[in-house]
Amino acid sequence: MATALFPGSFDPFTAGHEAVLRRVLPLFDKVVVAVGVNSEKAANGGGMFSVAERVERIRRMLADCPTVEVTSYSGMTVELCHQVGAQCIVRGIRTAADFEYEQLVASVNRRQDPTIETLLVMADAAHRDISSTLERERLSHRQP
């Protein structure tokens, strides 16, 4: 069974994240969306939504996708791959800066386990300007 892991802090899970996920669904039997704790964000007061809230929001958003599982985690991503039986890590990239960063992370993960592949998925043009940071800013200015 081909399983992929789609990890991120997802604070919040954006339309761009969803688009990347839906594009890779046909490639795998199962995709595990893994909501992780970003240590940099935690050091700066945490996120907009708790990890439990993020997991629940993503589950609702993807309720129509029976091959998607949503979980939370802390620790090393490669270790979570072992736990869920994932052979591939999926990451979305929007810019050259994203590519450089993800390439470094993929190299670190590959050193930890050379059998786990990383799949970098280019964001659609319609989603390149969407980021969790901008989405948090937008949500913080919404009227109640």
Which CATH number covers residue 38? Answer: 3.40.50.620
Number of domains in the chain: 1
* Mean pLDDT calculated for residue range 1-27: 94
Please indicate whether residue 9 or residue 88 has the higher confidence score (pLDDT). 88
Tell me the residue range of the domain where 108 lies: 3-140
Separation CA 82–CA 11 (nearest Å): 24
Residues 76 and 59 sit within 8 Å (Cβ to Cβ): no
- Beta strands of 39-128 (E only): which ranges? 68-73, 88-93, 117-122
Is the model's pLDDT at 127 over the cut of 60? Answer: no
pLDDT in tens, 17-53: 999 999 999 999 999 999 998 666 554 456 778 899 9
Place 122 in a pLDDT band, splitting at 50, 70 and 90.
Answer: very high
